[in-house]
Structure 1
Amino acid sequence: MGKKYAVITGCSGGFGTLMAIELAKNNFHVIATMRNMEKSHLLMEKATAERVQELISVQEMDVTSAESIEDLKTFLNNLSSVDVLINNAGYAGAGFVEEIPLDEYRSQFETNVFGTIAVTQAVLPFMRKQRKGTIINISSISGRAGFPGLSPYAASKFAIEGWSESLRLEMKPFGVNIALIEPGSFRTGIWTTGKKVTEQSMKKDSPYYAYMRKIQDYLDNGEPFFEDPIIVAKKAASIALEKNPGLRYPVGKGVRGRINLKKMLSWKTWEKVIMKTLYKN
């Protein structure tokens, strides 16, 4: 059997770093891409500790750059196959809608949505021609349930959910699998260093400031209970090894229950639960 190749975006930290190592441990040769190559040593140090450094190749790539995507295509032409793509690159935009400049929404979608689409379009011809492959899109519980103060992020993940459904139905006849991982709260830094709150909502003269603080406190108070991101990395590796993976994989304590609860409750009841949880006192 020939080598199995996996392309993963956003490998400079969080899920990306761990997924690269987990797939390498499962005998994939991983093309670990990242925008900031100065952080590549973090990945390679962990890979060396796990003795899989020879199965990981780090490539510079910005998912929002057309030139960068073209460089990826050129690189892929030298591979014998492209077996797995994991679209992981992303960040969380936050703030209250009235105060979020449209450019911040556009920036969120450029990375989380259009970046995912661009990388996928680069990989699809290879998978279609070889009539096999698996694409795993890292979504979120926020792609199934909206949350106040996180509309840019939630909107981008809702978009990825619908887009992935369409893509799965398009690629089924070609033997290409599409799957979604929907994590809950994990210790990846996306809600701390990775969250970009619009400037106005953090000003004390903002009409939303008190509510933004309550949401921030809610996230901060929950941080000690965030789960180990290795759980998501292992799930990604298991999906990559499946012959016929399903579409959606909720991951994390309470995630599946929260999704099911939203389905069961009327919107008015769901709304009351959220209001009581976030805006009490």
Structure 2
Amino acid sequence: MENKTAIVTGTSSGFGLSTSVELARKGFTVIAAMRNCNKSSMLLQEARKHGVESKIIVHELDVTYEESIQAFKSWIKEEFGRVDVLINNAGYAGAGFVEEVSMDEYRKQFETNVFGVFAVTKAFLPLMRMQKQGCIINISSISGKVAFPGLSPYVASKYAIEGWSESLRLEMQPFGVKVVLIEPGSYKTNIWSTGKQVAEESLLLHSPYKDYMQSIERYIAEGENSFGNPEDVAKKIAEIATLENPGIRYPIGRGVKAAIFLKNFLPWRLWEKTIISKLFVK
């Protein structure tokens, strides 16, 4: 992997940070893209700890701005001339009940989680196609397979990425470019912090959804001790990045495979009753 180049978006924390370090440990030259390079200290500190700081190059990229994407693409082409692995990780989780989530918040969620992935991928598809080689790894979620109440902005964005990735994989397979989905469950990252303010409307006294949202928050809080280590996801991503012929989907995390299986095979009425009984407690 010494001459292989990997791009990772959203690398200031969470999966992006851990994945950048893990890929560098595998020998990749990693371009760690983030919106604000002033937030790179945690990444570089972790890289130094593992002796791979020289393998990681931090570069500014805002996936919601075309000008930023085009400048980033031009720099990559000039400096490296190729991209072997692209990991679309940048994103956040918007929450709240549909009635109380503004259309602007939905658009903001999709600009980052969906259109940002589309735009960054499109920027590098010609290069990968001409190389006749490459791997695009999109960070989805169990929320892209199993919907939950109070999370519709995030859930909708991940469902979109799931379908889009299937189409892209079928399009790029004849050109030697692989497309992969990672579907993590609950992990100890800060993905919820950016979208947290969206859910606050549903926690106000006047909200008809207050009790429901409080129940959901309690349910999540009670399970926090079982949240996984992001480094486990990073190791899986790095493993996939080195495979010659990876599969399309990799669910990972406690209870993820079971939840997907039950959602697919239980009658909807039974599934619905099970979810609501767990999450809606007055």
Deviation at residue 232 of structure 1 after TM alignment:
0.4
Find the aligned partners of 1:2 and 1:249 in 2 and give their Cα distance.
Answer: 25
Once residues 117 and 126 of structure 1 are traced to their aligned partners in structure 2, the CA distance between those partners, rounded to angstroms, is 15
What is the rounded CA distance, in whole Å, between the counterparts of 2:51 and 2:155 in structure 1?
Answer: 37
- Alignment map for 1:63-74 (pairs within 5 Å): 63-74=63-74
| Percent of paired sites with the same residue | 58
1:280, distance to aligned residue in structure 2 (A): 3.2
The one-letter code of the counterpart of 2:98 is V
Q: In the aligned structure 2, how far is the partner of 1:123 from the partner of 1:108?
A: 23
In the other structure, the counterpart of 2:54 is 54
Q: Deviations over 1:231-276 (max 9, x none)?
A: 1000100000000000000000110111011111011010011011
Contact 2:61 2:72 in 1 (8 A): yes
Contact in 1 for aligned 2:92/2:109 (Cα 8 Å): yes
Where do residues 126-205 of structure 1 align in structure 2 (5 Å cutoff)?
126-192=127-193, 195-205=196-206
Contact in 2 for aligned 1:180/1:247 (Cα 8 Å): yes
- SS of the residue corresponding to residue 143 of structure 2 reads helix
What's the CA shift for 1:146? Answer: 0.6
Amino acid at match of 1:33: A
- Structure 2 counterpart of 1:216: 217
Report the Cα distance in structure 1 between the residues aligned to 2:195 and 2:5, rounded to whole angstroms: 28
Q: When the two structures are superposed, what TM-score results if normalisation uses the length of structure 1?
A: 0.97
Contact 2:211 2:281 in 1 (8 A): no
2:97–2:150 CA contact under 8 A, matched in 1: yes
Mapped partners of 1:2, 1:97: distance in 2: 48
Deviations 1:134-155 (A, max 9, x none): 0000000000011000000000
Q: CA deviation at 1:11?
A: 0.1
- Bigger shift: residues 76-85 or 42-51: 76-85
Q: Which 5+ residue runs of structure 1 have no aligned equivalent?
A: none
* CA deviation profile, 1:151-189 (whole Å, cap 9, x unmatched): 000000000000000000000010000000000000012
- 8 Å Cα contact 1:95/1:197 also seen in 2: yes
Is this contact kept in 1: 2:8–2:33, CA < 8 A?
yes
RMSD: 1.2
Alignment of 1:101-116 (within 5 A): 101-116=102-117
Deviations along 1:74-127, whole A, 9 cap, x unmatched?
112121320000000000000000111100000000000000000001111110
1:100 aligns with 2:101: yes
| SS of residue matched to 2:137 | strand
SS of residue matched to 1:249: strand
Runs of 4+ residues over 4 Å off in structure 1: none
Distance in 2 between residues matched to 1:49 and 1:147, nearest whole Å: 38
Counterpart residue type for residue 215 of structure 1: I
Which AA in structure 2 matches 1:9? T
Aligned to 1:28: 28
Cα distance in 2, alignment partners of residues 17 and 213 from structure 1: 31
- Give 1:82's aligned residue: 83
Q: What amino acid sits opposite 2:229 in the alignment?
A: D
Name stretches of at least 5 consecutive residues in structure 2 with no aligned partner.
none
TM-score by length of 2: 0.97
**Cα deviations across residues 194-224 of structure 1 (Å, max 9, x unaligned)?**
5442442121111111111111111111111
C-alpha distance in 2 between matches for 1:208 and 1:82: 46
How many angstroms apart in 1 are the aligned matches of 2:2 and 2:259? 42
User: C-alpha distance in 1, partners of 2:172/2:250?
Assistant: 19
Q: What letter is aligned with 2:95?
A: A
Amino acid at match of 1:101: S
| Partner secondary structure for residue 149 of structure 1 | coil
Q: Distance in 2 between matches of 1:139 and 1:200?
A: 26
How far has the Cα of 1:73 moved from its partner? Answer: 1.2
2: CA distance between counterparts of 1:253 and 1:207?
32
Aligned length: 281
Q: Secondary structure at the match of 2:10?
A: coil
Matched with 1:7 is 7
| Distance in 2 of aligned mates of 1:221 and 1:84 | 37
- 1:39-50 maps to which residues of 2 (within 5 A)? 39-50=39-50
